Amino acid sequence: MSDDLVISECFARDGLQNEPDFLATQTKVDLLDRFSAIGFPRVEATSYSNPKAVPQFADATEVLRGMTRREGAFYKATCANLRAVERANADHDAGRGANEISLLASASEAHSQKNLRSSKAEQWQRIADMAKAAGGRYRIIGSLSVVFGCPFETYVDPGVVAEDCARFLDLGVRHVSLGDTTGLATPQSVKSLWRRLETELPDLTLIAHFHDSRGSGLANCVAALEAGCCWFDSSIGGVGGHPSKIKYGGGFTGNVATEDLVNLFEAMGVDTGLDLDALMTTVEFCEKVLGRPLYGRTARTGLSPLIKEKTYA
């Protein structure tokens, strides 16, 4: 399992998305270079959002141009609409773009309406248009929200999630991130869904994208790991979630903290393939960049001494 573990560092996109102050482009580049040096096989680099809607990512092109790339790693840019894919294509075709993009859908109708301002049917038409426009340039990630429960509709039928995943697959999208957008997943619902989707859609690679809104993010990651999941999204310091403009009834919505996830997996004997010392100094750097202590416990306490002694069961 260890050779296959793929942790994606989401700090620079999902993490920064909520930050009110624009972070200097060079700082973003420094962050991404550190993430590459740590050895992350996937990095969320930026978003081709409308700069008027999300000024933080107005420098998407410059960030992708400025950063150093590690061979074999994937650098993702989020694409919210067709215009975003066209911008991604221009940067890609100029030789300095992303090599991974994500296309967003919601598992519930209400969340699609509120978050994407379109019905699910409309959004799936857009996704088809975007996938076509991408023209085989990228590894495309289907990013599905509210998979384990919706703040507006509460229960989300796993059968609907399976249909949405099948739609992605029909469009040639072979990687789907299953988003627990407001922290409603449980170890049971995670294992149950993983097993169902691996049976029904064996060609799909599933990505655990769990928010820690109710403190259960890491427990759900362990459940996913036990169900065979090897792909995880997390963010240094546990920052991120959703743009503050979109209200889900408030509350804490950060991602699983990378340092806590990596500490636990390594303590379990699961090799993450990452440079742990470089990770911990980068955690400090991220806190310095945002000017405040973040949410990771391991940032305060340090890595488990059991990791170096390899004494796990």
Residues near a copy of itself, by CB under 8 A? 149, 151, 154-155, 182-184, 186-189, 192, 212-216, 218-219, 221-223, 249-253, 257, 260, 263-264, 267-269, 296-298, 300-306, 309, 311-313
Q: How far is the CB of 235 from a copy of itself (least distance, A)?
A: 13
Our CB check for a copy of itself shows the closer of 45 and 223 to be 223
**In this structure, what are the phi and psi dihedrals at residue 186, rounded to the nearest 5 degrees?**
-130, 160
Q: How far is the CB of 186 from a copy of itself (least distance, A)?
A: 5
Our CB check for a copy of itself shows the closer of 62 and 287 to be 287
Our CB check for a copy of itself shows the closer of 56 and 253 to be 253
Our CB check for a copy of itself shows the closer of 164 and 260 to be 260
Our CB check for a copy of itself shows the closer of 93 and 200 to be 200
Q: How far is the CB of 227 from a copy of itself (least distance, A)?
A: 13
Our CB check for a copy of itself shows the closer of 68 and 188 to be 188
Our CB check for a copy of itself shows the closer of 176 and 218 to be 218
Q: How far is the CB of 43 from a copy of itself (least distance, A)?
A: 22
Q: Cβ atoms within 10 A of the Cβ of 276, count?
A: 16
Q: How far is the CB of 93 from a copy of itself (least distance, A)?
A: 42
Our CB check for a copy of itself shows the closer of 121 and 313 to be 313
Q: How far is the CB of 148 from a copy of itself (least distance, A)?
A: 9
- Whether the CB-CB separation of 227 and 190 falls below 8 Å is answered with yes
Our CB check for a copy of itself shows the closer of 51 and 293 to be 293
Distance CA 311, CA 305 (A): 9
229 sits in the region (left: phi over 0; alpha: psi -120 to 50; else beta) called beta
- Whether the CB-CB separation of 243 and 267 falls below 8 Å is answered with no
Q: How far is the CB of 295 from a copy of itself (least distance, A)?
A: 9
Q: How far is the CB of 99 from a copy of itself (least distance, A)?
A: 31
Q: Mapped to the 3 state alphabet, what secondary structure does the chain carry?
A: CHHHCEEEECHHHHHHHHCCCCCCHHHHHHHHHHHHHHCCCEEEEEECCCCCCCHHHCCHHHHHHHCCCCCCCEEEEEECCHHHHHHHHHHHHCCCCCCEEEEEEECCHHHHHHHHCCCHHHHHHHHHHHHHHHCCCCEEEEEEECCCCECCCECCCHHHHHHHHHHHHHCCCCEEEEEECCCCCCHHHHHHHHHHHHHHCCCCEEEEEEECCCCCHHHHHHHHHHCCCCEEEEEHHHCCCCCCCCCCCCCCCCECEHHHHHHHHHHCCCCCCCCHHHHHHHHHHHHHHHCCCCCCCHHHHCCCHHHHHCCCC
Q: How far is the CB of 281 from a copy of itself (least distance, A)?
A: 17
